[in-house]
Copies of this chain bind each other. A is one copy, B any other.
């Protein structure tokens, strides 16, 4: 796409047509400036087919805020909209509405609260709360969902990969398989959710981390095509990168050619005072090859070099590899832990595309509209109780039990303070028959989760670093029950409504049923 076109396609018109249709209708009705509140939330954890997440990790907010601050209706955008025709050839958007957009069509009067990036989040809890003039809050729906859905999806997948990888290094390699420039958002979210580094050079520099990588099969192929050998290719690599020598050993034959040649080059490096870094396996039976490579490296006294695995890895593949290594190692008289501890996981396609579930179904729903000085709660009914929205202005609290574990997220009406209640009633959002009571003596802490991040278009806080987001993620994951962290069949974490919110919801529902 040409740069000028990119400005059009990635600016304020990065939204759906119906948002502008509705905005003009609000304008015609004179309610376009009416303060409105929309909640952003998702309804269920990603289900990857054979396995399912027990928690998600929030991500994407900073880039959304950047987009909001830079996006407004430019003259070119207005000209595009003016050119849109109705079916009978009239102007789709009136000049009066376009003048309004040109003058007021920005996010400078929007305020936003959110659960910070890196935090563990759950379904049916508002992750982001948008307040501002109805028309602009409506137009924001699509870009907000676009920015937050994908990064939260990938941070979640990365957290799962981190979970199974334990202390091992995880490298993000997905740039070639992401959606065009959107792959950068995947890289960022992966870094928040669990990846240590990425091969993506540009984004590494933007985020302030060194990019990681070794070489491709092409390097060996080049040497072979010129009549040289794999060994000579490895030597050339060692010569260029004597202190960062990581060799891809599967171009010809891993155990017969690649590993022996790598060991030879490592010995030459050692003789000249350099410590080799590792080998990479990118095909075949990775567990078997890792055990055999480890044996050969150990025999040559290179027990400290890493073994990088790549090739369609995800949380299940890594889990399977670890299990198989335990078996293989026993059979070959190798210590399984020593093999597993030297592994590094390079995760590409299946992380950047969230293999098994390629989208998070985040939604953005009107929950309140101001009339005079009064906020009127809004609700969306649906056949399925799970799809009925939670009305009104709200706060979200995380309740920790006496072990310091998160035991429930409680959604209350604004103004409620669960600290002050002797016993907290937790109502299941969709099921009359389910509720739970917590007494203060069972609770170690109650923490509000929503933080104001944008006040009238201006950020209230400096953007946190990736390291700070990772620290939040680690702290939150550590406070989850191990059953919730499990990568298959996780325990269902409790998300509950307060009695007051539950009552409001029931009242609105009874008023809303079609007569």
B-binding residues in A (CB < 8 A): 1-3, 5, 8-11, 13-22, 24-26, 28-29, 31, 36, 38, 63, 66, 70, 80-81, 83-88, 90, 92, 134, 138, 141-142, 145-147, 149-151, 173, 175-186, 199-206, 210-219, 221-222, 224-226, 236-237, 239-241, 243-244, 251-253, 256-257, 277, 283-284, 349, 352-355, 358-359, 361-362, 365-366, 368-369, 371, 376-383, 387, 512, 514
Contacts and interface: CB of A to CB of B under 8 A. Distances in A.
Given A17-B212, A179-B180, 18 more contacts: A8-B206, A10-B202, A13-B202, A16-B199, A16-B200, A18-B213, A18-B216, A19-B213, A21-B215, A87-B244, A134-B222, A138-B218, A146-B175, A147-B180, A150-B179, A181-B181, A218-B366, A225-B377
A236 B180 contact: no
Given A1-B63, A14-B181, A225 B376 contact: yes
A31 B179 contact: no
A149 B84 CA distance: 32
**Complex A-B, nearest 9 residue pairs according to Cβ-Cβ distance, in ascending order:** A182-B182, A179-B182, A17-B213, A13-B202, A353-B358, A180-B185, A18-B213, A179-B179, A145-B176
**Highest count of chain B CB atoms <10 Å: which of A66, A225, A257:** A225
A185 B177 CA distance: 13
B202 A257 contact: no
A243 B90 contact: yes
Nearest to A360: B177
B181 A180 contact: yes
A179 B183 contact: yes
The copy count of this chain in the complex is 2
Contacts of A11: 202
A241 B13 contact: no
Contact of A87 (B217, B277, B353): B277
Contacts of A365: 217-218, 221
Contacts of A151: 180
A176 B14 CA distance: 10
A150 B175 contact: no
Contacts of A219: 22, 25
Contact of A224 (B88, B199, B352, B512): B512
A325 to B, nearest CB: 20
A34 to B, nearest CB: 8
Contacts of A180: 63, 146-147, 150-151, 179, 181-182, 184-186
Contacts of A218: 22, 38, 138, 141, 365-366
A181 B18 CA distance: 19
Contacts of A80: 201, 205
Given A24-B240, A84-B210, A142-B175, A202 B8 contact: yes
B28 A369 contact: no
A239 B28 contact: yes
Contacts of A186: 179-180
20 contacts: A1-B206, A8-B205, A18-B199, A18-B213, A22-B215, A22-B218, A24-B240, A25-B215, A86-B241, A86-B244, A90-B243, A142-B176, A149-B176, A149-B177, A182-B182, A222-B369, A225-B368, A256-B514, A283-B382, A349-B361
A95 to B, nearest CB: 15
